[in-house]
Amino acid sequence: MTITSFNQLDLNRTYSYADYLTWQFTEWIEVLKGKIFPMAAPVEYHQRISWRLGLQMGKYFENQPCRVYAAPFDVRLYNKTKSSQADKDIFTVVQPDLCVICDLAKLDRRGCLGSPDLIVEILSEGNSEKEMNIKYQIYEESGVKEYWIVQPENHSVLRFVANEQGVFIGLKPTTISEPLQSVIFPELQIDLAKVFA
């Protein structure tokens, strides 16, 4: 049976990336550990923050051997200890607001296979639980080196950096009064006053 509507999906079932490739509907979704999560269209302020942040990141990475991508952009993640890279064995497909990929061998015509170096998610109404808990765990398990959670309501960014064991360590939150600095890209500094203006 061809799936042409989100309503045809069984939300109790476990889906793989192979299933995801067969769906023919226009709704935005993510598959997190085999479960379907619909994505609401981002509000204007969310888009403005993403665009302003992406501009600054893009300018920094313009002459670097890394690439910046913005949603919609499929990132297929797998737990390195538990699954292979075959479509049927991948149970997580995310659409990060922004991501930086330095290993260009991970890129293909469908997006990225494997963990980006840096992922940025912007909180909006209804996605805080997903970004702060579910995705946090997935990004940690899949080997993301640095994860930023942008909090528009209080103009701040939470930063998490993987230690040598691959466990995220939380850093001091960055507020609008100071530059947002990456740990894995020390020269990348973001002017949050411009981002949240």
Query: What's residue 131's pLDDT?
Result: 75
In terms of C-beta density within 10 A (0-12 exposed, 13-18 middle, 19 or more buried), how is residue 41 classed? exposed
What's the pLDDT tens digit per position in 29-58? Answer: 999 999 998 888 788 999 999 999 999 999
Report the C-alpha gap between 56 and 79 in whole angstroms. 31
What's the pLDDT tens digit per position in 145-179? Answer: 999 999 999 999 999 999 999 999 999 999 999 99
Report the C-alpha gap between 65 and 112 in whole angstroms. 16
* pLDDT reading at 128 higher than 80: no
Domains of the chain: 6-37 (no CATH), 42-195 (3.90.1570.10)
Strand, helix or coil for residue 33? coil
The rounded radius of gyration (Å) of the Cα atoms in the chain is 17
* pLDDT reading at 4 higher than 80: yes
Residue appearing with tokens 């023919």: 24
Alpha helices, H only, 70-191: 128-129, 135-142
Strand, helix or coil for residue 46? helix
Token output for 46 = 């969310």
Q: Which residue(s) pair with 156 in the sheet?
A: 151, 175
Q: List C-alpha distances in Å: 13 to 17, 19, 125, 146, 191.
A: 13, 11, 26, 31, 43
Q: Identify the DSSP state of 109.
A: T
